[in-house]
Amino acid sequence: AKIREVEEVASLMEVDPGAILVDALFGSGLTRRVSGLARDVITRVNALPNLQIAIDIPSGLFGEDNIGNDPDAILQADFTLALQTPSLSFFFAENQAYVGQWEVLPIGLHPQIMEEKESAWRYIQAGYVSNLLKPRMKFAHKGTLGHCLLIAGCYGMMGAAVLAARACLRAGAGLVTGHVPRFGYKILQTTVPEALISIDESDIIYTGAPGLEPFSAVGVGPGLGCKPNTGRAILELIKSVKIPLVIDADALNILSEHPEWIALLPEGTILTPHPREFERLAGKAENGYARVRMQIDFAIRHKVIVLLKGAHTSVACPDGSCWFNTTGNPGMATAGSGDVLTGIILSLLGQGYHPRDAAILGVYLHGLAGDLASEASSEASLIAGDIIESLGFAFQYLKGIYDEDII
């Protein structure tokens, strides 16, 4: 190999268009804008058609917050090979144009060193998640595997209730009761015959939950609507519930209209907003980094778990930790995908998983099932029901990793 020192950007004018460019100018410790010759080189390289691979992090990109950075002084990599761990900035949409596709390259650091390193940031890996799985005991029966109450559906949105109920059962719950408006009885009974049905007093909306004594967890929100009577029923639920709770969709929108109710949420409640729902709950953020900081602050302040959905869904916990998911694909940006996630998390809560573990395992399973479903068909054709049908294969995959670890 021949090493040539670059003293001016003009010397980069004659680059073979078939050459692969490897970027190793700056690492993840950079905290100031790139200037001078280095900036000129980055600008020139970005204008070239060559395939570009960044080592550790694209030069010019900060490892965490890029507010105030110079977007024209950041290398636009096609691939990034992170050394041992990814940088936090990889998980934010605004940096996708710089990071491209990324993979982690182990560089031989001892696992104990990594465990002892103080950091609020974690990225969820298959080995960790596989160890969270509870084994199915030989003498288990439906009564020992959780009885989940799903409060969902209103006129015109019963599909959300159907998807969440199916996902809840497919994720392992022993019993699932769907509480739906009167008109939704036949819909849920015929589409999810495995589910029990609780009928609301209203024909078309949710106005009040049944007694919670028989249940081990409750989920509320998918397709619920935001009528005033529904809001009052949500308030009564959060004031009285003593079992694990997951809140999604319209139930979150109702909470955002009554921010004083948030203080009433039981400790460990799981909230599953998408970015717009979170904005209504907590306010507008300037970028992805600012949003995740708001997410963590919200989780600490209210002692809840905030699962912020996205390409790398993040799970913020009351202890200040934040876990980024590494499964999933763009095909999952489809109607009903969030309802499926709510059903999975509700199922895990009902089976006795700690709320943090239910959120982390739930989001990983959801994304993994989506990945397996897209491999069987395509991202473009993926629908929410495909995610449910692939959940069994996702469990098999994780169980295989666990079995390999203990052999």
State yes or no: pLDDT of 404 exceeds 70.
no
CA distance 144 to 380: 39
Q: Which residue has the tokens 């897209």?
A: 374
CATH topology of domain 129-398: UDP-N-acetylmuramoyl-L-alanine:D-glutamate ligase (3.40.1190)
CA distance 101 to 94: 14
CA distance 209 to 349: 18
pLDDT tens column, 128-170 = 999 999 999 999 999 999 999 999 999 999 999 999 999 999 9
Contact status, residue 346 vs residue 164, Cβ threshold 8 Å: yes
The half-sphere exposure of 400 on its side-chain side, counting CA atoms within 13 A, is 6
Instruction: In the chain, list all ranges with CATH 3.40.1190.20.
Output: 129-398
Instruction: In the chain, list all ranges with CATH 3.40.50.10260.
Output: 9-115
Query: Which of helix, strand or coil describes residue 356?
Result: helix
Residues paired with residue 150 on neighbouring β-strands, in sequence order: 178, 219
CA distance 339 to 334: 11
**Mean pLDDT, residues 279-304 taken together:** 98
CA distance 14 to 49: 12
State yes or no: pLDDT of 22 exceeds 80.
yes
Query: Which of helix, strand or coil describes residue 282?
Result: helix
Query: How many residues does this entry show for the chain?
Result: 407
**Mean pLDDT, residues 257-271 taken together:** 98
What's the CATH number of domain 9-115, 3.40.50.10260, 3.40.50.1220, 3.40.30.10, 3.40.50.150?
Answer: 3.40.50.10260
Q: Which residue has the tokens 């930790």?
A: 321
| pLDDT averaged over every residue in the chain | 95
**Mean pLDDT, residues 210-237 taken together:** 98
CA distance 324 to 308: 10
**Mean pLDDT, residues 111-124 taken together:** 78
State yes or no: pLDDT of 401 exceeds 90.
no
Q: How confident is the model at residue 407 (pLDDT cuts 50, 70, 90)?
A: very low
pTM: 0.94
